[in-house]
Amino acid sequence: MQTALLVLTVMLLTGIVFGFILAYANKKFAVEVNPLIHLVEDALPKGQCGACGYAGCAAYAEAVVLNPDVPPNLCVPGKGPVADVVAELTGKTAPPVEPRIAHIRCAGSMGKAVAKYQYFGVEDCVAANLLQGGQKSCIYGCLGFGTCVKNCPFGAMTLLPEGLPYVDPEKCTGCGKCETVCPKNVIEMLPLGAKVSVNCNSKDKGAVAKKNCSAACLGCGLCKKNCPHDAITIVNNLATVDHKICIEKCDNPTCIAKCPTKAIEAVVKEHVVEKVAV
Amino acid sequence: MAEYLTLFISAVIVNNFVLTRFLGLCIFFGVSKNLSASLGMGMAVTAVITLSSTLAWLVYNLVLVPLHLTFLTTVVFVVLIASFVQLLEMVTKKFTPALYNMWGIYLLLIATNCVVLGVPLINVESNFSLAKSVVHTIGAGVGFAVAITLMASLREKLILADVPKPLEGLGVAFILAGMLALSFLGFSGMIAI
């Protein structure tokens, strides 16, 4: 009986002592966190994509609240609405964010691009790229192991059976994570509303590019000649579109008609219209 | 002096808490995916068990033994360590934010871990003096850090290996831990305490 009482007392005392110590420490050592940080963090999309240049949404929220030099419009996936909310919360002014979407500059699917060798290694573009620049003869093309697909924080990419990734325009937020992880630099961020896109990244001369891939841009310049607004230039044997001119001036893209390899194509319209309407 | 050195080395290598006593396995597998995280975890464990087992030794010898309540050791130690880790978390958060950023996420993982409870229990069971128990505890912490760092380095290499599908991830990590444990078994009998 005595032991039982003693046990009860000791356990009770231990509990009370530690309870009080912790309660006291909680008050005494409380660290004040600016409540604004939590509000800003709640407004962010929580994709943790890092497109803002910070380690994650929480890190950006802390930086934008505490540092007056950090602009409120760095969240790319959140676009305009989030930038407005963050600007309002932090009392900063937000210049508009330009909405954009990921675009794969390669159409060299399995049948079209010539293979240099058969690759049996780790299913990852970075690993494949270490081995002679990958298994395709064209060293500029998409390797098709889906490093971008694995890294997309919003699940917007899928790897098609022919070995090229597909970007779901409904889900793509334009954060640019895929652009950074791609070892071939084959992904570019297209401004939303772009009319045409060049589906090739090859800087090889026409004859070489054609030998490597039947979908390659040969750098022939036919699209350039057919563009009435001078929006297309040929840089390093590759057609490059100035989307700003293109979006502003062009209603009827004539450049795509004459392309011998269909390397320059119209961006699928209906998606773009929907996106802009939202 | 030699006695303490023997005790230390035996806790680090011969009786390594992870690889020969199999304590603390959940954090051993959970946090050994990359090297820098496992280093942080090793340091956090060493610090926490050193402080908490000293406290536990004091409570055991000054409260439980005089009152003949040694059968309560496990329960009291659990309460003691859990509250102490909470306290440590608050203190580091307040006074050394840099340390907190490095350890913070690990501290709560350790709060109810078996290696953190096991070390003070072994200390009091072996009737160590205070100095001996501190040396033994630091040894245990360093031993844990060594084990988890070795494991993390191996697992970082393992990413590039061609592992059969059914064994991917934890499966092959368990096999690896088994081999590590076998190699540490080679030290057994080197030092007898």
Among the partner-chain residues A14, A25, A122, the one whose CB lies closest to the CB of B79 is A14
Chain B CB within 8 Å of residue A5 CB: no
Chain B CB within 8 Å of residue A8 CB: no
Per-state percent for chain B, helix, strand, coil, to nearest 5: 75, 0, 25
Q: Which chain A positions have a beta carbon within 8 Å of B67's beta carbon?
A: 6, 10
Interface pTM (ipTM) of the complex?
Answer: 0.70
pLDDT at B178: 92
C-beta atoms of A14 and B87 within 8 A = no
**Sign of the dihedral through C-alpha A147, A150, A152, A157:** positive
Averaged pLDDT, A10-29: 88
Identify the top-confidence range among A76-85, A111-120, B69-78, B130-139.
B130-139
* Within a domain: B94: yes
Q: CA of B92 to nearest chain A CA: how many angstroms apart?
A: 9
C-beta atoms of B76 and A127 within 8 A = no
Averaged pLDDT, A16-43: 85
Please check the confidence at residue A2 and state whether its pLDDT lies above 80: yes
Averaged pLDDT, A109-119: 87
* Within a domain: B191: no
Domain residue spans of chain A: 35-90, 100-277
Confidence of residue A67 (pLDDT cuts 50, 70, 90): confident
In tens, the pLDDT along A222-272 reads 888 888 888 888 888 898 888 888 888 887 788 888 888 888 888 864 444
Percentage of chain A exceeding pLDDT 70 = 94
* Within a domain: B34: yes
Which 56-85 residues of chain B touch chain A by CB within 8 A?
63, 67-69, 72, 75-76, 79-80, 83
Cβ proximity of A118 and A173 under 8 Å: no
Find the range with the poorest average confidence among A63-72, A99-108, B43-52, B65-74.
Answer: A63-72
Among the partner-chain residues A15, A30, A31, the one whose CB lies closest to the CB of B79 is A15
C-beta atoms of A7 and B69 within 8 A = yes
C-beta atoms of B72 and A10 within 8 A = yes
Structural fold of domain A100-277: Alpha-Beta Plaits (3.30.70)
Please check the confidence at residue A277 and state whether its pLDDT lies above 70: no
Chain A CB within 8 Å of residue B192 CB: no
Which residues span the domain enclosing B36?
Answer: 2-185
C-beta atoms of A7 and B79 within 8 A = no
C-beta atoms of A18 and B94 within 8 A = no
pLDDT at B138: 94
Averaged pLDDT, A66-86: 81
Confidence of residue A276 (pLDDT cuts 50, 70, 90): very low
Q: Which chain B positions have a beta carbon within 8 Å of A29's beta carbon?
A: 90-91, 93-95
Number of Cβ pairs < 8 A linking chain A and chain B: 42
Confidence of residue A274 (pLDDT cuts 50, 70, 90): very low
Among the partner-chain residues A14, A21, A31, the one whose CB lies closest to the CB of B76 is A14
Which of B94, B95, B157 is best to mutate for the A interface (most A CBs within 10 A)?
A: B94
* Within a domain: B66: yes
Q: CA of A10 to nearest chain B CA: how many angstroms apart?
A: 9
CA distance B101 to B111: 17
C-beta atoms of B91 and A127 within 8 A = no
DSSP assignment of chain A: -HHHHHHHHHHHHHHHHHHHHHHHHHHHTPPP--HHHHHHHHHS------TTSSSSHHHHHHHHHH-TTS-TT--TTTHHHHHHHHHHHHT---PPPPPEEEEE-----TTTBPBSS---S-S-HHHHHHTTT-SBSSTTS---S-HHHHH-TT--EEE-TTS-EEE-TTT-----HHHHH-TT--EEEEETT--EEE-----S-HHHHHHHBTT------HHHHH-TT--EEEETTEEEE-HHHHHHH-SS--TTTT-TT--EEEPPHHHHHHHHH-
* Within a domain: B155: yes
pLDDT at B160: 80
* Within a domain: B133: yes
Which of A2, A17, A22 is best to mutate for the B interface (most B CBs within 10 A)?
A: A22
Q: Which chain A positions have a beta carbon within 8 Å of B69's beta carbon?
A: 3, 6-7, 10
Q: Which CATH number fits domain A35-90: 1.20.140, 2.60.120, 3.40.630, 1.10.15?
A: 1.10.15
* Within a domain: B192: no
Which tokens in the block code for residue A17?
């002592």
Q: Which chain B positions have a beta carbon within 8 Å of A15's beta carbon?
A: 79
Q: Which chain A positions have a beta carbon within 8 Å of B96's beta carbon?
A: none
Q: How many domains does chain B have?
A: 1
Find the range with the poorest average confidence among A52-56, A127-131, A176-180, A267-271.
Answer: A267-271
Please give chain B's pLDDT, 193 residues, in tens.
Answer: 888 998 898 889 888 889 888 888 888 888 888 888 888 888 888 988 999 999 999 999 998 888 888 888 898 899 888 888 888 888 888 887 777 776 666 777 777 788 889 999 999 989 999 999 999 999 999 999 999 999 999 998 888 888 888 888 888 999 999 999 999 888 887 776 5
pLDDT at A228: 86
* Within a domain: B23: yes
pLDDT at B104: 65
